Structure 1
Amino acid sequence: MPSKALAKKHGTKVHAMGIDRMHVRGVEEWGKEGGREVRAKFLFGPSMKDLKPVLLTRDKWEAQDTMPSKREWGLGPSFYIAREAMGREVKMMREWYWGTGKSGFENGQVCRELGQEEGEKYLVNDGDKEVNVLLGAYTHPLLYSIKKGSFMGVAEPFVDKRGRRGWTFNLGARVHEAQWVPDEEGMVQYLAVAVQQKKAAGKYTKPLQNPKAPAFTKTKGFPTSIQIWTFESTEERDLDPDMQPRLVAVICTDWGMPRQFRWCPVAAADTVEPKEGDDEIHLGLLAGVWSDGKMRILDIRIPQPDSAFPQTRYIHFSKAAFEIQPPDTISTCIHWLSGTSIALGTTAGTLAIWTLTRPDTFPPSPKDSTSESNSPNKAPQYTPRPWFHKQAADTYILTISSGYPSRPHFISLTSADGFSRLFDLRSPVYDTISTTRARIFGLTQAWHEHTQSFLTPDENYLIRSNSIRRYYMNIHSMRMEAQILCCATSPVQPAVLMGAADGMCAATNPIPRFLNYKEVPWQQVWFWHEWRRRVEELPEVETQERDKTIQTPPNTTISKSTTTPPPTNKVPQAVLNKPLSRITEGYKVAQVGLQNTKPVRQHTDSGKFLTIFEEKTAVTCLAWNPNLKFGTWAVAGMADGLCRVEDLGI
């Protein structure tokens, strides 16, 4: 509604500061009459400037049902992004970094390279040395044993290997986070992965037996790491299945478990490959939240590997140039609002924003901090003050997302009270709105550039789209069979990946459903992951389970993995005595109804029954490659330590 003038004495009119006289905070409900045109005007805007990107997006991507296409029209930047504005942001970020930012990080952070024996201690986790996995065709699965830290091609279990480009990793423990490095021009793509790591054995309490809530309590520092893997591409920018991935670097820290990390969306150069005369690969700025309660930003540089004798480099960081310890609380989540601005959420419900180009970002006396850098524990901690600080929620902030790159001033967050809230940084007091209260925590959130909406899950296993113009209204576009734990969107194509507690990982395109409410969405399962514990530990074991036949590949040789004994008529006892994972794929594209069509016949049928799945079955993290030429590459991490990297372009 328009703002009203406040009348003072003598007839002086004073308007609210920071907003125009005709400031509008919302739009009316659309009427019962009208079709897709009326719907588009209310969702995106009434002017031609608002509707032109919508029509271009519809014409280009409406025919894409699920997975992204590698055709000429398949990938491309969003039509909502102004090319001139992005060019100015990239220029500003690079001028700041090569002007003052690079020296600020070099003077503030302390890092050194470790030897192999010392560095491998930071990769230790409590996972088994190897894991048994059923892969291949659904009717004739093959049993493989993959060692911890090794991998195998996704096409290996299939007779027809055409069109299968990817790798299956065994990282040993629950995959917490996986993020691609922004690198538009490089032929090699870099992936950062973090898995669950713990202290020495016996120092952790069992689940549900911790006297302190771990989400609200910071931990003491212990050795953890972030792994950097490289993947080769072909001339057509496809994932090369003939070139094996390599663990080129390990980022070692003693700050506890990295709960979340994000790469700066704007790279400091067109490619991370070193320039002439430089022997280091500059991956970019990495912001993360560690379990010690602090948020840090690291400038990641790794030595260029020797092509003749490649080896893993271990880089240990003991001090960060940009380190934030929120007062009387701990950090929970982060999100880059631009190439130089970052937002932080806390357990107390506060939201803070820093811009790295401000003069108080780094300590005022670089020389003094450099002299004391050899003893970071004794040096006084410098904490830059945020330019924005607000009590955004009443309790724990779970996720933060923004409308970057087209709408960076809009910030959406989910909290433990069940509400999702939207803020406009141009007027954070007046322009704020919340959704209806959900019965579950919104554990994941993503900005979908092509529909100008924020995606969050609800208690009915649906993904709801909250448009920035109608944030209070839910538009459901996807459905899963269990609780949704993670989702991923891409800035260069509209496909959305979803991961659930039952191990299903599916993809869909929400554009047709968003523009036409009567449209039944298409959905395709990328893969379905299942995990079972030892047969002896199962609550009920059917006798038929021991009589099932599992075919094993005869004399199969896999890099860094072992094969099972020759096939037998029954499952070997050694397999039954160990946990087993299974990945099935090859599902057809299908239309998924968003409503339960089963009739309610008894009073007990009206209740909501929940299925509890094995914890290690869940898909825990997803990410699309943000680079335009590699926009069809995706990564999925699972709770049992398996990680799948694949080129999904069709």
Structure 2
Amino acid sequence: MPRARRSTRLTGGRTKYTNDPFEIAGVSDDSDTNQRKAARKQAAASDGSSDEEFEVANDDNQDDEEEDEEADDDEVEEEEGVASEDDNEEGPRKVAGPRRSKPATTPAFSMRYHKTQGTVSLPKEDTHSRGTYSSIDHMGKKVHLRTTFGTDERDLLSIVYARERWYRGVDSGFPTRASLNEALDLPDYGYGLSFGVEPEEMRRERTRGWDWYYDEGQGGRLRKRQRLRSIEEEAAYRVYMPAPKQKKHTVLMGPVDDQKTFSVGYHESMNFGDAFDEAKVREKAKPSGGSKGKDAGRKRKTREGWILNMGQKVQGMAWAPNQPGLTQYLAVVAPISKEEKERHPDPFTDHGAPAFRSSAPYPCALQLWMFKAEKDESLTKRIDLKFQPRLRMALCTKWGDLRRMAWCPMRRDPREEDDEDTLKTVGLLAGIWGDGYMRVLDVKLSRDPNKVEYYEVQSPVFEAKPPSTVCTCLTWLSPSDIAVGCANGFVAIWSIIPSQSPYPYFYQPIHSTYVLNLTSAYPTHAHLIATTSMDGETRLWSILDPYKDMVESNRMRVGSAHLSYSPMLQAFFSSDENDFARLLAVRRFFTTTAVARFQSTVSSLAPCSTWHPSTLYGCTNGAAVVTNPLRRLLHVKEKQWQQTWFTHEWARDEDPDSPGISRFHDGYRAESISLLRNMLGDRKMVNGVMMITIYEEKSHVTALCWNPNQTCAGWAAAGLGCGLIRVEDLAT
């Protein structure tokens, strides 16, 4: 028979020593308590509700709080109104009595009574309130949902839809193919697929929102601005692309106890499935025709995907949206080496710090690589490993390194004009170049899929630069509007539609110094923008009134350059100085929720997908980690799981002409890591001293991205500091 639990409370009265003159004079805390009770009743009466209604509202909140309190034994024992077991092991168990009020020494936040409508009834002595619940208050699940996502049924129905699809334990890390394929089968409650936005508004933006682009007046003038000059392949490789090494890149992949050696040359690709054993795919359900699925009984490799060699560090990477077919395009930027840049003189050397001024006009190339998906009846497609990835286009410039780039993510329905055009439209791509300008390119390809095109960009469809500063980051707000962060702390918003005024219609100081990153809460709250700065501040503000409608999160000692918004979760993702992944809900932006913990500094963050809630982080130790924070967002006491996609290690070779040796580790299990921010038991603490490991720059995961198209929503790409790119279908 197990031993009964014993209470740790002291029995009997406690000896108390005091020199309080008010208590000696007969002025005790009881009188203050009575005054506060009277003030609460008066406040409740002023709201038009009786004392009975006030007590009923408190009882409802108390029932919700008890749901959370039962899940934590430690908190239950600390409550004053719950009786504990008798000190005698064999004695009978006492029955819990009525709950008593907490003593007057309770912090001020616990004295506030919460109503079921989400408001706070304050006593008269309280002079300030944030207007919402405090994150340290105990609240029930219903109250937590209302304060996190709102009281509007559109917001609640959208998160209920996400919960039904992605709350399973198997989806705690990578998204499963079964859950991705349920997008068209499960009821969307009217707002699930539009993330709480009216479906009619989303439809108008996909159609009428792009009328200006197809208009012969505005769209025609925009397209005429872009001028491209065709160049030879030899000139593109010699001037604009990194010089290849004499030897190939050595790659070690496979199971830990049986890794195989591969060699990948410059601009070559390798199917790393050859390094793994075969695994039989589970037999799918029979379709309506009675025959088995295409993949029934077919053997596949344990891991399948591609490794590409770019020759230099992968600076940026992004999948092209609005590609519903089997062909997918990946935009990649690999700048030239430091030795090659020394050949070009820098005229701005004496003009201040490099980050706050324009750089030399270094040559750079934007590469567009083509991939194929398998033909399958399933909604979510796999990567076609029979099709070798190939370079489709190279857009060469002399504006410095392409530091940031982003495709226009707004959906666009296909039109007849697209088929009538002699060129195939890929999309609008905006970027920040080293000279400090923000430019937009209209990327189009020839109809011949076997042709490789090389162009020198002489002028884009749009370019802009604020005076006396440089652009640092950008994000799309609509099919025609772009927000840009600047080195002086300002944020500018331009419309790329041709007009007589070249100035931004919004240019306001949001931070006091360098803006590291910014992103919009599109489409749920398209007028809200979150920004991070070098001063460690993370702010959420409204374009309508950035001075009044602004809220700040916890300030960090080191600014975070990573920021992304998930419309499915209605929250922003970022990182902090302690190697934690943090989540900031739109309606609780002033608080931070840790959702993952890493062994090294965060070096990259993939833009959140609109088809699943999994978030992908890259670290300086070469690890790519994925996590699904939905369970923790809905209930803060849920265990948070994370899973490592792969770990990359790079080592130098004895030969100086060799690009080095890379080794990949795969097959990690999902794990639940403590997210407590305490120093006790920290892996970085050695003899009471915080240790920080510095890793090789070529081991870093420098770029990550999910495929934004629904048919390939499980595809992910990771760019490394050594120049390798790993593309894999992570839908299990």
Q: Is the TM value for this pair above 0.5?
A: yes
Matched, 1:312 2:430: no
| 8 Å contact from structure 1 (residues 30, 42) kept in 2 | no
Q: Whole-Å Cα distance in 2 between the matches of residues 285 and 583 of structure 1? A: 34
**Counterpart check, 1:410 vs 2:528:** yes
Is 1:61 aligned to 2:166, yes or no?
yes
* Mean CA deviation greater in 582-591 or 492-501: 582-591
Secondary structure at the aligned position of 1:201 is classed as helix
Report what 1:299 is aligned to. Answer: 442
Per the alignment, residue 394 of structure 2 pairs with: 250
Superposition pairs for residues 158-237 of structure 1, below 5 Å? Answer: 158-160=276-278, 161-162=300-301, 164-198=303-337, 201=340, 203=342, 213-236=353-376, 237=381
Give the 3-state SS of the residue equivalent to 2:356 in structure 1. coil
| Separation (CA, whole Å) in 2 of partners of 1:480 and 1:603 | 14
Task: Work out which of the residue numbers 324, 329, 343 in structure 1 matches 2:464.
Answer: 324
State the match for 2:237 in structure 1: 120
2:254 counterpart residue number: 136
Contact 2:367/2:395, CA 8 A, preserved across alignment: yes
Q: Which residue does the alignment assign to 2:572?
A: 454
**Contact persistence 2:462–2:496 (CA under 8 A):** no
Are positions 1:239 and 2:344 aligned together? no
1:529-544 residue pairs with structure 2 within 5 A? 529-534=648-653
Moved more, 637-646 or 65-74: 65-74
Q: For the structure 1 residues 55 and 518, does the alpha-carbon distance in structure 2 shift closer, same or farther, using more than 3 Å as the test? A: same
Compared with structure 1, are the counterparts of its residues 122 and 426 closer, same or farther at alpha carbon in structure 2 (3 Å cutoff)?
A: same
- Map of 2:406 onto structure 1: 262
Residue in 1 aligned with 2:675?
A: 594
SS at match of 2:646: strand
Letter in 1 for 2:724: L
Which of 492, 496, 499 is the equivalent residue of 1:356? Answer: 496
User: Per-residue CA shift, 1:57-115, capped at 9, x if unaligned?
Assistant: 21111112111121255564453343211111122332110014431222212112222
- Structure 2 counterpart SS, 1:399: strand
**1:526-570 deviation per Cα after TM superposition (whole angstroms, max 9, x unaligned):** 1111112246xxxxxxxxxxxxxxxxxxxxxxxxxxxxxxxxxxx
Match of 1:516 in 2: 635
Which residue, out of 632, 641, 647, partners 2:723? 641
What SS is found at the alignment partner of 1:493?
A: coil
Moved more, 583-592 or 638-647: 583-592
1:376-387 equivalences in 2 (<5 Å): 384-387=502-505
Aligned partners of 1:633, 1:385: CA distance in 2, in Å? 39
Identity %: 32
After superposition, give the CA deviation of every residue in 1:349-392 in whole Å (9 maximum; x if it has no partner). 110112234xxx34x5xxxxxxxxxxxxxxxxxx7111111101
**One-letter code aligned to 1:313:** E
Aligned counterpart, 1:157: 275
* Aligned equivalents of 2:173, 2:321: Cα separation in 1: 24
Where 2:613 maps in the other structure, the secondary structure is coil
Q: Which structure carries more relative contact order (alpha carbon 8 Å, separation 6+)?
A: 1
CA shift digits 1:24-47 (9 cap, x unpaired): 985232674433222212111234
Q: Distance in 1 between matches of 2:218 and 2:409?
A: 16
Q: Residues 33 and 264 (structure 1 numbering): CA distance in 2 closer, same or farther, change over 3 Å?
A: closer
Instruction: Give the Cα–Cα distance (whole angstroms) in 2 for the partners of residues 465 and 577 of structure 1.
Output: 41
Q: 2:196 aligns with which of 72, 80, 90?
A: 80
- In the TM superposition, residue 53 of structure 1 has moved relative to its aligned partner by 1.9
Secondary structure at the counterpart of residue 635 of structure 1: strand
Shift of 1:297: 0.8
Conserved? CA contact 2:432–2:471, under 8 Å: yes
Could you tell me how far apart the structure 2 residues matched to 1:214 and 1:126 are? Answer: 24
Q: Distance in 2 between matches of 1:228 and 1:322?
A: 20
Alpha-carbon distance in structure 2 between the residues aligned to 1:278 and 1:531: 46
State the partner residue of 2:28: none
Letter of the structure 1 residue corresponding to residue 402 of structure 2:
P
Q: Distance in 1 between matches of 2:621 and 2:181?
A: 30
| Aligned amino acid, residue 231 of structure 1 | F
Q: What amino acid does structure 1 have at the position aligned with 2:664? A: I
Question: Aligned in 2, Cα 1:105/1:122: closer, same or farther, shift over 3 Å?
Answer: farther
User: CA–CA distance in 1 between the matches of 2:182 and 2:495?
Assistant: 31
Q: Relative to structure 2, which stretch is displaced further, 194-203 or 424-433?
A: 194-203
Q: Shift of the alpha carbon at 1:196?
A: 2.2
Q: State the distance in 1 between where 2:505 and 2:683 align.
A: 58
The change in CA–CA distance for 1:462 and 1:166 in structure 2 (over 3 A counts) is same
CA distance in 2, matches of 1:278, 1:90: 20
Q: Is the aligned partner of 1:435 residue 2:578? A: no
1:581 aligned to which of 662, 669, 672: 662
Q: Following TM superposition, by how much is the alpha carbon of 1:393 offset from its aligned partner in structure 2, in angstroms? A: 0.6
**1:280 aligns with one of 423, 435, 444:** 423
1:562-641 alignment runs, 5 A limit: 579-595=660-676, 598-599=680-681, 605-641=687-723
RMSD of aligned alpha carbons: 2.7
1:525 to 644, 658, 669: 644
Alpha-carbon distance, 1:135 to partner: 1.1
Letter of the 1:253 partner, please give it: T
Is the 1:75–1:493 Cα contact (8 Å) retained in structure 2? Answer: no
Q: CA deviation at 1:455?
A: 0.8
Instruction: Tell me the CA shift for residue 234 of structure 1.
Output: 1.3
1:19 equivalent in structure 2? none
Give the superposition deviation at 1:232. Answer: 0.7
Give CA deviations for 1:544-603 in whole Å, capped at 9, x if unaligned. Answer: xxxxxxxxxxxxxxxxxxxxxxxxxxxxxx799872111111111222221368448999
| Higher Rg | 2
Displacement of 1:201 after TM fit?
3.2
2:226 paired with 1:109: yes
Question: Could you say which structure has the higher strand fraction?
Answer: 1
- Size of the aligned set, in residue pairs, is 560
Structure 1 SS opposite 2:674: coil
TM-score w.r.t. length of structure 1: 0.81
Does the 8 Å contact 2:382/2:712 carry over to 1?
yes
Structure 1 unaligned blocks of 5 or more: 1-23, 365-382, 536-573
The 1:603/1:82 distance shift into structure 2, 3 A limit, reads: closer
Question: Aligned-pair distance for 1:56?
Answer: 1.9
Structure 1 residue 198: Cα displacement:
4.4
Residue 14 of structure 1: aligned partner: none
Name which of structure 1's ranges 164-173 and 50-59 shifts more when overlaid on structure 2.
50-59
Could you say which residue in structure 2 is the equivalent of 1:370? none
Q: Structure 1 CA distance, aligned partners of 2:526 and 2:240?
A: 36
